[in-house]
Amino acid sequence: MQSSAAPGSLDRYADAPLWQQLSSALREEIDEGRLLPDQALPSESELINRYGVSRTVVREALADLVRAGLIYKVRARGSFVSPRRPELKFVGSMMGSSADLEATGRIITTRVINFETDAADAKLAEELQITVGEPVIRLRRLRFVDTAPWLLVDTVLPERRFPNLARANLENQSLYDHLRRHYGVHPSGADRWISAVNPSVEDAELLQLRPEDPILAIDSIAWDAQGVPFERYHALHRSDGNRFYLGIR
């Protein structure tokens, strides 16, 4: 059914092309909550009549919103508003993944899968500035958000710096918070490398994904206020339910 609404306020004398103006108008409706998550947008014909533009203009505007992740299309049904995805900032902050996820208001739980002591090889010794063969703690954890597996983290820490860590109950606890409270370690900075990868069969099963599903891999070396490295981790993060925020100032 076509809309009888009056044409929208697009400025045909503006420098911005009509498709860009229409995209901005629809984006504003989404941002202000007049179009809700999973709600259908007006049909192409309705938008043509409402704004007095061509079908080409409408399709270019909708394509722009799809690229921005604000809408999605369903074949033979139309365009719909994308569900809002939480912005995760821990990639570019020292909050730690647990604190950042909790800031979104989600229910966060953590399961410790493995905790063992190993000897540092040459590469790990160089990264953590310790001697080759020195004991290190290897910790594997699976973090859940609203009961869904979200993040699989393999962490390595120098044992001499964190004695008795094996006695700690890290189930549903923030590792960074524990290191601050019990060892006086205050994370000050980190180098992080991000890439898209396919998980192993074992990791895919833990994250409830298919091995062919791409996920985000994050490698990090963190250091304390004195500039001494204290943690090396490799994390596999599902990216299908959120987006990552990294501010550049």
Write down the domain spans for the chain. Answer: 18-81, 87-244
The tokens for 182 are 């019990």
User: Which residues are CB-neighbours of 27 under 8 A, at least 6 positions away?
Assistant: 65, 68, 70
- Express each pLDDT in 32-66 by its tens digit: 889 998 899 999 999 999 999 999 999 999 999 98
Question: Which helix (H) or strand (E) element contains residue 182?
Answer: helix 175-183
The tokens for 40 are 């259908």
- Considering the four listed CATH numbers 3.20.20.10, 3.40.50.720, 1.10.10.10, 1.20.58.220, the one that applies to the domain covering 18-81 is 1.10.10.10
Using only the alpha carbons of the chain, give its radius of gyration: 24
Query: What is the reported pLDDT for 187?
Result: 87
3-state helix, strand, coil split of the chain in percent (to 5) is: 30, 30, 40
**Are 90 and 247 contacting, i.e. CB atoms less than 8 angstroms apart?**
no
Q: How far apart, in whole angstroms, are the C-alpha atoms of residue 214 and residue 204?
A: 10
Query: What is the reported pLDDT for 90?
Result: 52
- Of 5 and 171, more confident: 171
The tokens for 107 are 């229910």
Single out the residue of 85, 28, 36, 126 nearest to residue 245, CA to CA: 85
The tokens for 129 are 């500035």
Superfamily of domain covering 87-244: Chorismate lyase-like (3.40.1410.10)
The tokens for 185 are 């370690």
The tokens for 157 are 């820490």
Q: How confident is the model at residue 197 (pLDDT cuts 50, 70, 90)?
A: very high
In this prediction the pTM is 0.61
